[in-house]
Amino acid sequence: MSTFNFQITDLPASLHPLLHTIQPASTADGVAVLLFLLSALGYITRGRIWDKSDPNYRVYFERPQVLDGGSHSTATATRNIAQRLEEGNYQCVVFWGSQSGTSERLAEGLSRECASHFGINALAADLSDYDAESIGQISKEKFAIFILSTYGEGDPSDNTAGLWDWVKRVKDDNSKLHELRYLALGLGNSNYKYYNRVLDVVADALDDAGATALIPRQKADDANGGTEEDFQSWKDNVFALFRGMGYEEKSVEYQPSINIQFTAPEETKTHPHHVSVHHQKSSTCSAIVPLAIKSSRELFTAGDRNCVHMELDLGHHEVGYKTGDHIGIWPCNPEEEIRRLLEALGLEHRRQELFTVETLDETSKPKVPSPTTLETAFRHHLEICGPVSRKTFLDLAPFAPTPEAKAMLLGFGKDRERYEQLTSATHITLARLLHLASPEKPWTVLPLSFVLESLLSLQPRYYSISSSSVIAPRRITITALVVNRTIPGTSDSTIHGLTSNYLLSATKLPSNASIPTPSFQHTNSESVEGGRVFAHVRKSKFKLPITSSTPLILISAGTGFAPFRAFLAERAKLHAIGKPVGKMLLFFGCRSADSDFIYQEEMEKMKESLGEKLEIITAFSREGDRKVYVQDRVAAQSSKVLEMLDAGANMYICGKASMAREVDMKIEEAASEAKGLGEAEVKAWTDALKKRGKWRADVWG
């Protein structure tokens, strides 16, 4: 029989009496006593004996740009914005609520212009960095500016969550904000039903609580790419306000907000390849991970359009997903555009040299890691394929390499009509603009800091996951329409969908488009396809009901069917194992049955499997003499839709925002007629369904 050899003196004095009362009678009893004592020891010492601190623990909570050498190396000193304004001697704060980075860029630019043009010390602030309640403590001598994005179906950006909750409490509590002065601009898209809803909700709450709007709120509309022009118009009004408040405006030369320093050539041996310096793992978004491409196939080719199905392997990564979630794909820029930009800047010979970025303005955040190279920055971190704003034309003019280039830039920059004619006829990226203005002479005097400040940070593009986490928990499938739009009457003005072409290139599938697919640099792996893509998973509220017997109404067009493929597959699996499954009414629309009917065979098999539980209604917009759209089919079947909704069905709409808006109108019109409801009553009916999660939409512009 084994015995215990540990000494009572090895234990804390507080355990000595306890030890003497316990006399083990056998080996099993002895083991039990030892385990009990160790547990007690852990409780009393709170783990101090063996709990060694992880020296890298803090890294888990630092923003990536901090790790990359950015200036934000310390946490915000206070989460009270009123206190922060006083400590920093700021006269105003420019809050931004941003999902894609546009609001952030505009806010940072506006704060710099406040200082340079009017001497107003302005703080550009991420709303999530401060407690929203402290906004009400801002003194009347200062003022707040809000630039707020609305995305999806009237949803606030992730970093606006605190403000969103606070304004609701302000309204409910009837709080008073009599000292708060503010200005507000909303960024949205009028194709969406709830256009700029976030701006209206926030501004209405502030007004109701007694805050003073210094100028009327204004809305920027990105439906036709008008965000930049609308922002400039609003900024003109803001600057007019400043002049009226007694601030003297002065003209200033370009002042960089970052300092760029190239390293010696002998030091340029290696450099990091980061995907993003801004993305943060959060409760809604996973970390960015490289996912191997396990398989891919073409769903259809029609004219210049391709649609691909891609399967990604989650492998060993600590990333999971649930049916209905989104996957954010992080693309890289095409090699042709990288080369074009480097040539225009006269920096082709320095593409592999390392440089560091130091922010000179504490309100700015670096867009690229440090150190990095121009090639890496232009490939992985900056939106070099995006269109150029009219303001950029004017800002570039002082650095023009020739008088002709300067005159050209000023001519378009000062004339909105000429600018819109040019950009509607030609796809103008920064590189293409530089070549257009000065085709022979490179822009060697253009500061690289200006280039990095002018370009947006590269952002992920989101796709609805078309696989079920119940059936394939470690595999994610994407259904991507490859987008290429050629401007009529031009030879070099094809607008390639960046991420869709990046995915097509990664699959190695041939493109059916008449214009070649851009070339991208891909990261190899040991997968079947030999490649991988960087991605993260974002949680969605677009979820199946917990009870499988709940009826479903699924309304989609084109690749909007993607999440419904997962929904139906999951329901079919449950039905196959004998679980009760509710009736499903699926509306699906595309151009024609012969050209772009995606997953047609799968739908037919699911119909065979589910039988009367699944009814499929199709709409073809380019088949025969009459164009029939999804909303037309919904209108024709409105009595069935209303009957199912009244019986407790969940309704889901996925596709373009314009389609979803039309579907909403058809259902509301039908409800008004069938139920005898007025406009206000219909709105209350739809709002009640949406609040209970019975009416959900996952749409895009």
**Residue 614 sits in the same domain as residue 468:** no
The whole-number pLDDT of residue 269 equals: 52
Beta bridge partners of 473: none
Q: Is the pLDDT assigned to residue 525 strictly greater than 80?
A: no
Beta bridge partners of 300: 307
Expressed in percent and rounded to 5, the helix, strand and coil fractions of the chain are 40, 20, 40
Long-range contacts of 262-266 (CB under 8 A, 24+ apart): 262/350, 262/353, 262/354, 262/355, 263/353, 263/354, 263/355, 263/356, 263/371, 265/353
H or E element that contains 116: helix 102-118
Q: Of 482, 511, 538, which one is at a domain's C-terminal end?
A: 538
Mean pLDDT over 358-367 rounds to 80
The whole-number pLDDT of residue 697 equals: 93
Q: Of 503, 538, 573, which one is at a domain's C-terminal end?
A: 538
**Residue 85 sits in the same domain as residue 206:** yes
**Residue 601 sits in the same domain as residue 486:** no
Which among 147-151, 417-421, 463-467 has the top mean pLDDT? 463-467
**Cis status of the peptide bond prior to 334, with omega within 30 of 0:** no
Beta-carbon-side half-sphere exposure of residue 443 (alpha carbons within 13 Å): 28
User: Is 178 domain-assigned?
Assistant: yes
Residue 164 Cα to chain centre, angstroms: 18
User: Is 35 domain-assigned?
Assistant: yes
**Residue 188 sits in the same domain as residue 101:** yes
**Residue 100 sits in the same domain as residue 231:** yes
CB 697 within 8 A of CB 659: no
**Residue 506 sits in the same domain as residue 647:** no
Least reliable range by pLDDT among 207-221, 259-273, 598-612: 259-273
DSSP 331: -
d(CA 72, CA 277): 12
**Residue 594 sits in the same domain as residue 470:** no
Mean pLDDT over 406-413 rounds to 96
What's the mean per-residue pLDDT of the chain? Answer: 85
The number of folded domains in the chain is 4
Question: Positive or negative, the Cα torsion across 26, 30, 33, 35?
Answer: negative
Mean pLDDT over 233-240 rounds to 94
Q: Is the pLDDT assigned to residue 94 strictly greater than 80?
A: yes
The whole-number pLDDT of residue 6 equals: 39
Mean pLDDT over 278-282 rounds to 77
Least reliable range by pLDDT among 82-86, 322-326, 625-629: 625-629
User: Is 110 domain-assigned?
Assistant: yes
d(CA 387, CA 472): 39
**Residue 110 sits in the same domain as residue 234:** yes
CATH number at residue 156: 3.40.50.360
Mean pLDDT over 438-456 rounds to 95
User: Is 379 domain-assigned?
Assistant: no
**Residue 122 sits in the same domain as residue 216:** yes
CB 364 within 8 A of CB 257: yes
**Token pair recorded at residue 66:** 């901090």
Judged by DSSP in three states, 617 sits in strand
d(CA 197, CA 155): 8
CB 450 within 8 A of CB 274: no
Edge to edge, what strands does the sheet with 461-464 contain?
461-464, 326-330, 532-538, 289-302, 305-313, 475-482
CATH number at residue 567: 3.40.50.80
Q: Kind of pairing, strands 155-156 and 143-151?
A: antiparallel
Which among 38-52, 143-157, 320-334 has the top mean pLDDT? 320-334
Q: How confident is the model at residue 406 (pLDDT cuts 50, 70, 90)?
A: very high
**Residue 532 sits in the same domain as residue 673:** no
The whole-number pLDDT of residue 282 equals: 80
User: Is 111 domain-assigned?
Assistant: yes
More confident residue, 65 or 609: 609
Mean pLDDT over 276-280 rounds to 75
Least reliable range by pLDDT among 2-6, 153-157, 171-175: 2-6
**Residue 144 sits in the same domain as residue 25:** no
d(CA 65, CA 278): 6
Nearest to 365 by CA among 156, 131, 125, 99: 125
The whole-number pLDDT of residue 90 equals: 96
Q: Is the pLDDT assigned to residue 258 strictly greater than 50?
A: yes
d(CA 477, CA 569): 13
* Full residue range of the structural domain in which residue 322 is found: 300-333+460-538
More confident residue, 501 or 58: 501
Beta bridge partners of 588: 556, 618
CATH number at residue 494: 2.40.30.10
User: Is 347 domain-assigned?
Assistant: no
The whole-number pLDDT of residue 234 equals: 95
User: Is 138 domain-assigned?
Assistant: yes
Mean pLDDT over 408-416 rounds to 94
**Token pair recorded at residue 97:** 């609520």
Q: Is the pLDDT assigned to residue 638 strictly greater than 80?
A: yes
Q: How many CB atoms lie within 10 A of CB 533?
A: 25
DSSP 135: G
**Residue 523 sits in the same domain as residue 474:** yes
pLDDT digits (tens, 9 = 90+) for 10-66: 444 444 444 444 455 555 555 555 555 555 544 444 343 333 333 333 333 333 333
Q: Of 538, 561, 585, which one is at a domain's C-terminal end?
A: 538
Mean pLDDT over 439-445 rounds to 96
Please name the residues in contact with 465: beta carbons below 8 A apart, sequence gap of 6 or more: 321, 323, 324, 325, 326, 327, 476, 477, 478, 537, 562, 563, 566
The whole-number pLDDT of residue 365 equals: 76
User: Is 290 domain-assigned?
Assistant: no
